[in-house]
Amino acid sequence: MMEQGNDCERILFTAEDIAAQVKKAAAWLDERFEGTVPLAVSVLKGSVIFFCDLVRAMKTPVQMDFMTLSSYGSGSSSSGMPKIVMDLSAPVEGRDVLLVEDIVDSGHTLVKLKELLGGRGAKSFTVVSLLDKPSRREVDVKADYSCFTVGNEFIVGYGLDYAQRYRNLPYIGVLKREIYEK
């Protein structure tokens, strides 16, 4: 059986690094949402592991919902044109929305989500991302809170994938170039 971890040239953030940052992000959110019950939205599939760990670390009660947007397909770079694959089931009108993202890369997905949910009447919109990749930003947008900043490398693990693989790695690693440039 092939070890998918062998496809990483190095580990950027260990499971322990990630757990420590998730705890800090949860504390920040507890302070921000004190006295409210925000609608916590996971952007599937990439953020689901981070999302679950984050909401479990929060003391604030949340309502959870999920949506799927796609701008990568099975490639290694964003198309810049995210499309909704699965929409939310909960209404956002008048709600404090907490959007949990795996990575803010080009920024197009985040812009689309802010426009979409803002247009649906969200009372407030807070974005927490596991990763921020400012070197790839094409639009002027950023998360309200990011756990880590990364360079322009192809990263996988802890929910992030390449061709639907590597999501279950417990760490975040840099994928070997020969894997995605085949």
CATH number at residue 49: 3.40.50.2020
Q: Is-catalytic flag, 105?
A: yes
pLDDT, tens digit (0-9, with 9 covering 90-100), for 69-91: 876 554 445 555 678 889 999 99
Of 24, 59, 63, nearest in space to 42 by CA: 63
Q: What residue type is 26 in one-letter code?
A: A
Alpha helices in 40-172 (DSSP H): 48-57, 108-119
32: in domain: yes
Average pLDDT of the chain, as a whole number:
91
Domain interval for residue 94: 16-73+80-151
158: in domain: no
How many structural domains comprise the chain?
1
In the chain, the percentage of residues whose pLDDT exceeds 90 is 75
pLDDT, tens digit (0-9, with 9 covering 90-100), for 139-181: 999 999 999 999 999 999 999 999 999 999 999 999 999 988 8
104: in domain: yes
128: in domain: yes
Q: What residue type is 171 in one-letter code?
A: Y
168: in domain: no
The residue from 105, 132, 140, 161 that is catalytic is: 105
Q: What distance in Å separates the CA atoms of residue 3 and residue 6, rounded to the nearest whole number? A: 6
173: in domain: no
Note if the pTM is more than 0.85.
yes
**Where is pLDDT greater, at 81 or 96?**
96
156: in domain: no
| Pairing status of strand 63-70 against strand 39-44 | parallel
Q: What distance in Å separates the CA atoms of residue 69 and residue 37, rounded to the nearest whole number? A: 24
86: in domain: yes
